[in-house]
Structures are given as C-alpha cells and as structure tokens.
Amino acid sequence: MCGVLRCAGGVVIGRRHPGAIYQAGQWQLPPAGSVDANAVAPDGTVDLRRQLLTELEEELGLPPDSVDTPRPICIIEHPGSHVSDLGMAMTTRLDAAAVLAAHRARGNIEYRPLRVVPQAALPDFLAEAGDSVVPPAHEFLKRAGLLAR
C-alpha cells in the first residue's frame, strides 16, 4: 500500500532508509507498507484503509484523524517481483511544517529525509531523482491529479 499524501505546501515524499530490505534508499510516497494481520478482521475481510492509517501513524507520526478518508486510485504490479501496490490518495489539513514536525517527533526512521514537494516542483524533483524514485510513484501521482498524464 502506498499513500499519496497532500498537505498545504505539497506532496509528502520520503527516502527509504538505506538499510531497508526492500527498495533501500529510494524515494517513495509515504505512508507505505505491506498488509499485515492487523488489517484482517475476525470475519476474514481486510481493511486496507485501516492498514494505511496505521502506517501513517507509525511512519509519519500523524494520527488517523489528521487526514481525510483514503481514496483508492489504482493498483500497480511490479514486473520483476509481481508485488502489487495499491495507491490511495489522502489529504491532511496540516501544513508542511506540521507534517514534518510530527515526523520528527513521533515518526519512525523509515524515511530520512522526509520532504514536502510543492506540486509545481514535482516534475523537476522526479527528473532530478531519476531512477531513485520507486516506479509506481509516477503513476500514483498522475492518477491523483498531481502530475500531467
């Protein structure tokens, strides 16, 4: 699961820890993570929104009530691993400074650095970052209406 988190000031983008097992050192759209047992209800259904909100709190230090309801935008399968990522768009009423402060105070170390990139600067950021951006990020940003198609 990958979130496309918008705030006043832009889109939240983080660089994965260089020691991460998966996609180490790459820029990603947080929050992101695998669906785990906490997302499975007793009846066997999976609550993907709840999983993303758990990742939001763990990784960025933001409480679930600080964002609107995550909205699915698309699923992308990685060609090599066949792992599928579900992109979900969400918006917070917080500004960039508050998002970054929450990350410093309560977030984990998965993303260092964490940045808020203004929407108008996204194409330049992505071009400069090149192959260090996880492949699904471009499509998630397009589907969320943040990049030209």
Please give the average per-residue pLDDT across 6-28, as a whole number: 92
Q: Look up the CATH superfamily of 2-143.
A: Nucleoside Triphosphate Pyrophosphohydrolase (3.90.79.10)
Predicted pLDDT at 82: 85
Partnered with residue 142 across adjacent β-strands are: none
Predicted pLDDT at 85: 92
Backbone φ and ψ of 107, nearest 5°: -80, 165
Predicted pLDDT at 105: 97
Alpha-carbon distance of 149 to 139, in angstroms, equals: 9
Burial class (CB in 10 A: 0-12, 13-18, 19+), 95: middle
Q: Mind listing the pLDDT tens digit for each residue in 76-115?
A: 998 778 889 999 999 999 999 999 999 999 999 999 999 9
Q: Mind listing the pLDDT tens digit for each residue in 19-47?
A: 888 888 999 999 998 888 888 888 999 99
Predicted pLDDT at 122: 97
The model's pTM is 0.93
Helix (H) or strand (E) holding 72: strand 71-77
Predicted pLDDT at 20: 83
pLDDT-based confidence at residue 18 (cuts at 50, 70, 90): confident
Q: At 112, list the tokens.
A: 């260092």
Alpha-carbon distance of 102 to 141, in angstroms, equals: 23
Q: Mean pLDDT of all residues in the chain?
A: 93
Predicted pLDDT at 86: 94
